A and B are shown apart, each in its own frame.
Chain A
Amino acid sequence: MAKKEMPTALQVENVKKNFVLPHERVRSVKGAFTGIVRRKQRRTVEVQHALREIDFSVKEGEFFGILGRNGSGKSTLLKIIAGIYTPTKGKVSVKGKLVPFIELGVGFNPELTGRENVYLNGALLGFSRAEIDKQYKSIVEFAELEAFMDQKLKNYSSGMQVRLAFSVAIKAEADILLVDEVLAVGDADFQRKCFQYFRALKKNNKTVIFVTHDMNAVREYCDRAILINEGVITHQGDANKVANEYLRLFNPAEATKNDTKQKQNSDRWGNGTVKFTKITAKAKEDHIEVVTAMKAERDHDDIVVGFRVKNSAGKTITGANTLRGQKHYRIALKAGEKRELRWKVPNIFGNDMFTIDATIRLSDGVTFCDNWDNAAQFDVAREENTPYSIVPDVPFTEGA
Chain B
Amino acid sequence: MFAVLYVVFVKFFKLGADVPHFAVYLLTGLVFWNFFAEITNIGVGAIVDKGDLLRKINFPKYVVIISTAVSALVNLLLNFVVVITFAIWSGVDFSWDALYLVPLLVIELFVVAIAVSLLLSAVYVRIRDVNYIWEVFMQVFFYATPVVYPLSMVTDKWPWLAKLMLINPVAQVIQDIRHVLVTPQTVTVWNYVGGIKALVPVLIVVGLFTFAVMFFKKRAPYFAEEV
Contact = CB atoms under 8 A, between A and B. Distances in A.
Interface of A: 19, 26-30, 79, 82-86, 100, 102-103, 106-107, 124-126
A85 B224 CA distance: 6
B222 A86 contact: yes
Contacts, number: 43
A29 B133 contact: yes
Interface stretch (B104-112, B123-131, B143-151): B123-131
A131 B143 CA distance: 50
A126 B127 contact: no
Contact of A126 (B54, B59, B224, B225): B59
Contacts of B224: 79, 84-85
A79 B53 CA distance: 13
Given A84-B224, A100-B58, A126-B59, A106 B128 contact: no
B129 A30 contact: yes
Interface residues of B, number: 17
Interface in B123-181: 126-130, 133
12 contacts: A28-B127, A28-B128, A29-B127, A29-B130, A82-B57, A84-B58, A85-B224, A100-B58, A102-B56, A106-B53, A106-B56, A107-B57
B68 to A, nearest CB: 16
A83 to B, nearest CB: 4
B91 interface: no
A26 B126 CA distance: 9
A125 B56 CA distance: 10
A19 B126 CA distance: 15
A27 B126 CA distance: 6
Which 10 residue pairs across A and B have the least CB separation, nearest first? A83-B58, A86-B221, A28-B129, A84-B224, A106-B56, A103-B56, A84-B58, A106-B57, A27-B128, A28-B128
B58 to A, nearest CB: 4
Contacts of B58: 82-84, 100
Nearest to B129: A28
Contacts of A30: 129
B54 A84 contact: yes
B146 to A, nearest CB: 29
Interface string B41-72: 00000000000011111110000000000000
Q: Is the interface of A mostly helix, strand, loop or mixed?
A: loop
A86 B219 CA distance: 11
Contacts of A83: 58
Given A28-B128, A106-B53, A106-B57, 6 more contacts: A28-B127, A28-B129, A29-B133, A102-B57, A124-B53, A126-B59
Nearest to B224: A84
A84 B129 contact: no
A87 to B, nearest CB: 10
Contact of B57 (A28, A29, A100): A100
Contacts of B55: 84
Contacts of A27: 126-128
